[in-house]
Structure 1
């Protein structure tokens, strides 16, 4: 039988901490390894429990959750870190991701949905609130590309966008979230681009699109 995911919650707001803890405790495939309300307690809890997943707020007493993210990233490489915060501005988001967070949810996320996001995170995904995903999309969106004679209309704007994000290392689930469409729609764009480029894999598609000037890094 598979061992349950161990989860630590570091959150200073008692209402959110209790709601998140109740959600995790109710999941049959998870075990709440502990909660903490400030930075020193959080650091000690991480050292003692070495959890599979840590949920961390950024605005903590006695310091920033960024310190916890950085500690987990450097000292606990097997621990996945997800921010759950009221801060959705670009400086906080980018600082968290650069420190090592691989998920970022705003506190408007329902506690009932939290366990599914934890599963996605531990499975290798990057749960991101739509507002945050849009910020990242706008930050990473390619600038205007010069037309290429005979090939400018080969791929649609959406097909080029999917290949551009694929070239940056995003998986199809992440691309779907950033584009605000379903995974099925992303796969439709992928299949169309394969057919138009006469290729059979993502690697070949990215190579051909780069060669034609349709995608750039």
Structure 2
């Protein structure tokens, strides 16, 4: 009697997007040590975008700052193509704007490079199990933010639709991580006027930081990344 064919388990496909060669090789090496993973790598936005145009990996591990583009755009591209791919950011950036934007765009985890997990393979497996690996400092920030919103006074009924077209343009620039100087040069306005616009935006959205402004703008549909 012939033995039934055993089920073939396909390896987990992973795309690593990281321009820093030592960091990229560290991750590749950690995942390549086991047959569980089929590892692909990209050193730039262009390489990653080309790869994602051809296939959907099970896991996307991406940096935010790339030499020719933003990891945020890769996250958005991946989410437009598939909601099944698990996405984790591995970045040196831990500011409110970067974290909130990545999560709202569809990232499932966010690890800071200075808090790199001892076993990246287990971290990726946890991601596939439905967990959300997040560096401790980011987790504390999210908890504080949630507690602050829940315990705060009710928001007034400000008509945020009264944001001017220029203010919305500046909000988009903030969400993309541009400096005030970059925003001014892009919009053709004086660099000295940008702080005034920012102050008005904060007042109208009832926020105090760039991260909160981005969060509120995205939640209210004022901008899209």
Asked whether the two chains share a fold, i.e. TM above 0.5, the reply is yes
- The residue aligned with 2:11 is 4
User: Does the 8 Å CA contact 2:18/2:43 hold for their aligned counterparts?
Assistant: yes
- The residue aligned with 1:140 is 146
Structure 1 residue runs of 4 or more that deviate by more than 6 Å after TM superposition? none
- The residue aligned with 2:92 is 86
User: Does the 8 Å CA contact 1:19/1:111 hold for their aligned counterparts?
Assistant: no
State the 1:87 CA deviation: 0.3
User: Which SS does the other structure have where 1:35 is aligned?
Assistant: strand
User: Does the 8 Å CA contact 2:117/2:123 hold for their aligned counterparts?
Assistant: no
How many Å separate the matches in 2 of 1:78 and 1:133? 23
Asked if 1:73 corresponds to 2:73, the answer is no
How many Å separate the matches in 2 of 1:48 and 1:26? 26
How many Å separate the matches in 1 of 2:111 and 2:34? 19
State the 1:27 CA deviation: 2.4
- The residue aligned with 1:35 is 41
TM-score (norm 2): 0.61
User: Does the 8 Å CA contact 1:20/1:111 hold for their aligned counterparts?
Assistant: no
- The residue aligned with 1:148 is none
Deviations 1:133-174 (A, max 9, x none): 0110011113179xxxxxxxxxxxxxxxxxxxxxxxxxxxxx
- The residue aligned with 1:126 is 132
User: Does the 8 Å CA contact 1:70/1:99 hold for their aligned counterparts?
Assistant: yes
User: Which SS does the other structure have where 2:84 is aligned?
Assistant: coil
State the 1:110 CA deviation: 3.7
Candidates 41, 47, 54, aligned match of 1:48: 54
- The residue aligned with 1:155 is none
Asked if 1:107 corresponds to 2:117, the answer is no
User: Which SS does the other structure have where 2:104 is aligned?
Assistant: helix
How many Å separate the matches in 2 of 1:111 and 1:41? 26
Please report the RMSD computed on the Cα atoms of aligned residues, expressed in angstroms. Answer: 1.6
State the 1:111 CA deviation: 5.9
- The residue aligned with 2:3 is none
Deviations 1:104-152 (A, max 9, x none): 000124464211111111111111010110110011113179xxxxxxx
For structure 2, the 5+ residue unaligned runs are 1-7, 154-225
- The residue aligned with 1:98 is 104
TM-score (norm 1): 0.63
